[in-house]
Structure 1
Amino acid sequence: MRINADFTKRVAVHFDQNEWIASPAAGVERKMLDRIGEEVARATTIVRFAPGSAFSAHTHDGGEEYLVLDGVFQDETGDFPVGSYVRNPPTSSHTPSAKEGATILVKLHQFDPDDRTEVRRSINGQGNTQLFKDAHEDVRVFNLAAGEALDLDASHGMELFVIEGSLRESDENFTTWDWLRLPPGARSTAVAGASGARVWTKTGHLAQMV
């Protein structure tokens, strides 16, 4: 399976225009943003867990990174409510579930193979925040006031996900849970809408894909 797999191109996926697709686990649906592979895949996905749903225990050979968008996500290490940012490095394993339901943005099989750094933190109540940085990538959250511009330096590739609010980039409007990927070498500007915007970004990680 290959979805938005040409990393030399700008890609935008709007949440309301993307269909939910059932996963192998009952009650778990996905909106695929990009993907290379079948069930074990390099993937960026919005995943929705119905109340009481779960995945069976599994190991993330290529690592897992997620941001909780709605509800409470759970595994053996605890409960992760809205605003939780988690990195489970390569070789980690867990049994994810959502007793009351949850929606997450998740990225799989995209870590440096030698990365063993675990991250568990909340973005709630935070301003502009650097969530993680190493030689491979830089992950941040930006809070933009109405009309504020954000320079999008994608010299080594960039992803942007709208957590709340709206913004405009390249004459295209992005609202809550919309996603944008810029290819390495691109440069652009995003301007927040009338209600401002809160966005998650990742940079530096796509150069090896082109």
Structure 2
Amino acid sequence: MMLLNSDFSQRAIVTPDDYQWVRSPQSGVERVMLDRIGQENARATSLVRYAPGSTFPEHTHPGGEEILVLSGTFTENNVDYPAGWYLRSPEGSSHRPSSLEGATLLVKLRQMAADEHRFVRINTRDSQNWQAHPDRLICPLYASPTETVHLQKVTAGKQLLCGTLPAGAELFILQGELYAGEEPYQQGSWLRLPPGDMPALIAASAGVTVYLKTGHLSPATLTGVPS
């Protein structure tokens, strides 16, 4: 069994300087593994890159699949999803993915609760999906009693995480930079913060846009991790 950043009680960070693109079993598809428990049938968080013209056979997803299209156009069952689309497909769902022009995705596998049945498709590039809050704009993507997912555009100099997060947080920087003290985290950085870990993450001078998931990392809500 492959174990990568598999201790969810510890902080995990992957920056673009750490990227190691490796081939998947399917021709034309590569990935950067961010965290992983298992071999090909794994609980995993990855960056996935489709070469132009690549396809993937139809398959099902035990434990569900969550996708954010970072660049290019991702096609699922003959429906195109350009950069900015968020796709969430629950336990047992199936699809036939491909990309004519190429695409890069943030993908999370086998991380949904067994009682989750809702499909979600949201275009985060549509301004109507964003809500104004003090010091930031928020695009809600998914919410349940144990998990909240959204994008945030945070004003320069403001703190990303406010208050306490007893169930941890996970984020991916889509645009701009965050600072933790003097340490910069640039676009493309992924951070997973365990319960009780609360660094002061400050938006840089141009502001920052992040994918942010909270509520899912406490021992009571963590899914897909062997006990």
Question: TM-score, normalization: structure 1?
Answer: 0.95
Q: Distance in 2 between matches of 1:179 and 1:10?
A: 11
- Deviation sequence 1:36-92 (CA, Å, 0-9, x none): 001111100000000011111100111000100000001116111010001011110
Quote how far apart the aligned CAs of 1:118 are.
0.6
The match for 1:175 is 186
Task: Percent identity, please.
Answer: 45
How far is the alpha carbon of 1:189 from its aligned partner? 2.0
1:69 aligns with 2:70: yes
Relative to structure 1, is the Cα distance of residues 120 and 45 closer, same or farther in structure 2, using a 3 angstrom cutoff?
A: same
* RMSD of Structure 2 on Structure 1 (CA): 1.4
Q: In the superposition, relative to structure 1, how do residues 170 and 180 fare at CA in structure 2: closer, same or farther (>3 Å)?
A: farther
Task: In structure 2, list runs of 5 or more residues that go unmatched.
Answer: 131-136
Larger mean CA deviation between 159-168 and 182-191 belongs to: 182-191
SS at match of 2:198: strand
1:119-155 CA-to-partner distances (Å, cap 9, x unmatched) read: 0011113331221100220001110122122225431
Distance 1:8 1:19 in 2: 24
Bigger strand share? 1
What one-letter code is carried by the residue in structure 2 that aligns with 1:8?
S
Counterpart amino acid of 2:184?
Answer: N
Contact 1:139 1:202 in 2 (8 A): yes
Which blocks of at least 5 consecutive residues in structure 1 are unaligned? Answer: none
Q: TM-score, normalised by structure 2?
A: 0.89
1:135 match? 145
SS state of the match for residue 195, structure 2?
Answer: coil
Aligned to 2:172: 161
CA distance in 2, matches of 1:186, 1:176: 22
Q: Distance in 1 between matches of 2:44 and 2:75?
A: 20
Amino acid at match of 1:172: E
